[in-house]
Structure 1
Amino acid sequence: MMIHPNETYILDLLTKLLNTASPSGFTHRIMKLIESEAKALGLPYTQNEKGGAIITLKGKDSSRRIALSAHVDTLGAMVRSVTSKGTLAITSVGGFMMQSIENEYCTIHTRSGKTYTGTILTSHPSVHVYSDARDFKREEKNMEVRIDELVENKEDVMKLGIMTGDFVSFDARPVITPSGYVKSRHLDDKASVAALFGLLESSRREGWQPTHDLVLLISNYEEVGHGASWIPGGIQEMIAVDMGAMGDDLNCKETDVSICAKDSTGPYDYEMTGKLIQLAEELIIPYAVDIYPHYGSDASAALSGGNNIRAALLGPGVHASHAMERTHKQAILNTTKLLASYVMS
């Protein structure tokens, strides 16, 4: 059976997700959005102790449970210290190139709930002033946040209530083009979260059920390695839904569904991967099979955590991962279609 994902619903939800700050460790606000969406679809919603979401969809046969996971946490930063000149030194949350956040607008989230905007720059930001500005090494110790407040020293910043350990989120700046491209920060992995909710919305609207009970895991610590290291009991199979990478020696395009055969932790389940390939071909869904040597997923975290499961990995193709990313709506919608076909087979 081929489902018909609601494009408007999926892209509208994706835009909301992208516009909600959620660096790893600071996901309580976006989880409220996830909870609201699940309840609007009439689905049971609970959280694990780490704050990740567990959403269940009843199947025709409860003798098996299949998990689909995606992560809502993103890259970001924290305040490492306040400098004497009134800027913020930062420490990264997640793995990204410092060049990818240079000149990016950001928001500082204080413990009191106040927020302040700023810009991430090197400490030698101007070619008119610094002879080494072009070659100055883009590394963590040389990056800082310029705060959009009247501050001249450390004391001025402290009066704002900004302190070490406050989170810094990067402005996503999502744009959906007339040609169907979606460009934004944090498509890894909010595009997949939107695809999963597209599956749930389709089930309710089109009146279909998965063959077996379905458990959706929306994790909130994937970018730091332990998002789905614990999963609920009774799950036999798990598909991590995460972005497909693009570049040298890779087949994936932004319009493709990426099926990952192996990542840095080893190969995924042969039969599950083969079934996804077979279904993509039957549904005439553009797909690519790739190997990602610098990649780990929630499924690999679950396996490393000792869970007795079989696992696979797929997701929409994303260009320039961990930088200013881009995918195409076709890849997101087809991810939903392929997953629905899998859970109904």
Structure 2
Amino acid sequence: MVPANTGTEAVEAAIKIARAATGRSRVLYAEHAFHGLTLGSLSINGNTEFREGFGPFLPGCDPIPFGDLEALERQLARGDVATFVVEPVQGKGVNLPAADYLAAAQRLCREAGALFTCDEVQTGVGRTGRFLALEHWGLEPDLICLAKALSGGLVPIGALLVSRPAFDRVFDGMERAVRHGSTFGGNDLAAAAALATLRVLDREGLVARAERLGDLLLELTRPLVDRFEVVREVRGLGLMWAIEFGPPAGLTSRKLWQAVEERQPGLFSQLVTVPLFHEHRILCQVAGHRMNVIKALPALTIEEDEVRRFAEALAQTISEAERYPAALARFGLRTGLRAARVRR
């Protein structure tokens, strides 16, 4: 294990260790991926809104479509790839992989002599109903990035789990034991918080609980696809959940949707998230820039009645937002009043 302070530090360590262990320089990552905002991690960040203005990035970092095995195989065939870094479930958009994608990607990496890296910063430590999301597909990556929930959200922490062969190739003697490190990585407070978090996860059965309540959340919200024209899909894994919106069927409403989206892509999601917060005191977030996808990452300790309350409030809010002209007017009035109060 290589200790760190944040998720982006764990990803930076993965890039370095993959290059040192393989003697290769190229790093592959998925389009729309999020791996952090420091320069190395940003070099494999698949979102333009985070990258713009911060280049040039690390050379040899190349994107491929998430889920495209042929694209991955073509890049690996060049023989210069150190690692493929992938989120088991993409945080931006909560995009789930096809059933066979990750296992096949791991196999292709092994056959090509590249390391397979899973970024579990967002999906790990029980979030998806397994301690690590990779367990859903029986994966055995060479490198695993962890952070965030590892300390229960109490203190900054990060960790890179490294396979023994890769670790031994990089840290193969006393003189090379200091090749990578961090002043506060693995500090006593972070380590104590991590151990306490692991004890609570085990003692209270929070991983299995996340699976059970995640299944309930999908059961309660998937019917919204048939109930509302604007709901395109509801998806999730454990307590990592998302709802995607699209234009309504009616000609007038569709034209208004398209006109608004041209000016401000992703505005409809705000017509849902803002009332959820102001009227129901439920905090969720748009799952990405210019994206009509809302995601929720409830605490693993959430109670069943809160899951049910969220589903009811969501249905009510979508019903009101679907009446598009009135919803836009309410949103504009609320935003205008808030701006006026700020100016005072």
TM-score, normalized by the shorter chain, greater than 0.5: no
Alignment TM-score, normalising by the size of structure 1: 0.28
**Which structure shows the bigger proportion of residues in helix conformation?**
2
Task: Name the larger-Rg structure.
Answer: 2
The structure with the greater share of residues assigned to strand is: 1
